[in-house]
């Protein structure tokens, strides 16, 4: 069904029928329920704190008695939150904060532990590049300039093999 057909169908319904359809969607589809819960009670700060906690657990897992916790270092955890926040329409400043936090916590981890997989460094560069594109697209890059530079400086300090790629982005931004 096209958007135009949907609009035509909805125009034929009265208010009560529309309400019934929305309630049915709310009950059947968890995505609709999540959306309406966010729209009517955003609690962006709570979402942000939960998100940061889960991202940090990827690098610093909570140790459980009798079990050895190993860091998973999955970029996908942060990416899911970022995508979810964009769909919900969360404030771009909060989304940008999550994007940069993900890289910052990974850099903190790599400063304390030897990280060998090239994939880790490539994925952090991809995250950095995506964050810069997002910041530019939303016109908020100057608000995050210091954090972008700090991340770049850490790649140099930690001698990441792909620090030249980070350099190229900073040079294009004329910082």
What global pTM score does this model have? Answer: 0.82
Residue 118 scores a pLDDT above 80: yes
48 plus 34 within the same structural domain: no
33 plus 53 within the same structural domain: no
pLDDT digits (tens, 9 = 90+) for 20-61: 999 999 999 988 888 888 888 888 888 899 999 999 999 999
pLDDT digits (tens, 9 = 90+) for 58-73: 999 987 777 768 889 9
What single string gives the DSSP state of each residue in 70-126? Answer: -----HHHHHHHHHHHHHHT--HHHHHHHHHHHHHHHHHHHHHS----HHHHHHHHH
10 plus 76 within the same structural domain: no
CB 73 within 8 A of CB 109: yes
101 plus 151 within the same structural domain: yes
| Number of separate domains in the chain | 2
Domain range for residue 158? 43-173
What local confidence, expressed as pLDDT, does residue 31 receive? 85
Residue 14 scores a pLDDT above 90: yes
48 plus 130 within the same structural domain: yes
32 plus 49 within the same structural domain: no
37 plus 47 within the same structural domain: no
Between 21-25, 38-42, 94-98, 159-163, the lowest mean confidence (pLDDT) is in 38-42
| Residue whose C-alpha is closest to residue 128's, from 54, 89, 78, 91 | 78
125 plus 64 within the same structural domain: yes
95 plus 159 within the same structural domain: yes
131 plus 167 within the same structural domain: yes
Residue 175 scores a pLDDT above 70: no
């Amino acid at each position: 069904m096209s958007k135009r057909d949907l609009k035509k169908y909805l125009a034929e319904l009265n208010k009560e029928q529309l309400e019934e359809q929305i309630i049915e969607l709310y009950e059947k589809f968890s995505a609709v329920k999540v959306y309406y819960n966010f729209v009517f009670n955003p609690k962006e700060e709570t979402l942000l704190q939960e998100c940061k906690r889960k991202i940090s657990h990827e690098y610093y897992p909570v140790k459980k008695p009798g079990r050895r916790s190993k860091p998973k270092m999955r970029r996908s955890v942060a990416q899911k939150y970022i995508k979810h926040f964009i769909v919900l329409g969360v404030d771009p400043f909060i989304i940008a904060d999550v994007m940069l936090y993900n890289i910052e916590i990974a850099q903190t981890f790599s400063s304390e532990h030897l990280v060998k997989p090239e994939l880790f460094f490539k994925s952090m560069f991809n995250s950095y590049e995506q964050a810069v594109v997002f910041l530019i697209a939303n016109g908020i890059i100057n608000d995050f300039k210091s954090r972008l530079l700090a991340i770049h400086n850490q790649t140099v300090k930690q001698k990441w093999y792909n620090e030249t790629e980070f350099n190229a982005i900073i040079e294009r931004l004329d910082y």
